[in-house]
């Protein structure tokens, strides 16, 4: 069996134990301090980086075959929809706070 190289494996390259999956916020509710820090960081720099060769290939194909196709716009819409569906409570709170901050 061939050993995987660390480059390109993200956190798996430096963390040997699997990361715990966080499906919902802790039972005590939303951490308001973490939420406010996250909002400030996101408003200052809304860019995120993802690692998915399959998604990258599909989106690049679409960019090459559909005039005026925007990878960033499409990825943003898809990601927002998925996050909103998986974490509706957090999404709702963040959406409300962003409107208040604008």
Q: Give kind and range of the element (H or E) at residue 84.
A: helix 71-86
Q: Which of 51, 47, 48 is nearest to 12 (CA)?
A: 51
pLDDT grade for 101, boundaries at 50, 70 and 90 = confident
- Put simply, whether the predicted model's pTM sits higher than 0.85 gets the answer no
**What CA–CA distance (Å, rounded) separates 16 from 21?**
15
Q: Give kind and range of the element (H or E) at residue 10.
A: none
46-90 tens-digit pLDDT: 999 999 999 999 999 999 999 999 999 999 999 999 999 999 999
3-class SS of residue 36: helix
> In this predicted structure, what is the pLDDT of residue 7?
53
1-53 tens-digit pLDDT: 555 555 555 545 444 555 456 556 565 788 999 999 999 999 999 999 999 99
Map tokens 């973490």 to a residue. Answer: 34
> In this predicted structure, what is the pLDDT of residue 29?
86
């Amino acid at each position: 069996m061939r050993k995987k190289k660390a480059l390109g494996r993200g956190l798996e390259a430096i963390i040997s134990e699997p990361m715990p999956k966080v499906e919902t916020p802790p039972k005590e509710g939303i951490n308001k301090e973490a939420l406010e820090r996250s909002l400030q960081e996101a408003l200052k720099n809304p860019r995120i980086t993802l690692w998915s060769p399959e998604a990258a290939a599909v989106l690049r194909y679409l960019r090459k075959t559909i005039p005026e196709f925007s990878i960033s716009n499409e990825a943003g819409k898809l990601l927002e929809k998925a996050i909103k569906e998986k974490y509706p409570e957090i999404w709702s709170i963040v959406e409300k706070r962003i409107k208040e901050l604008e």
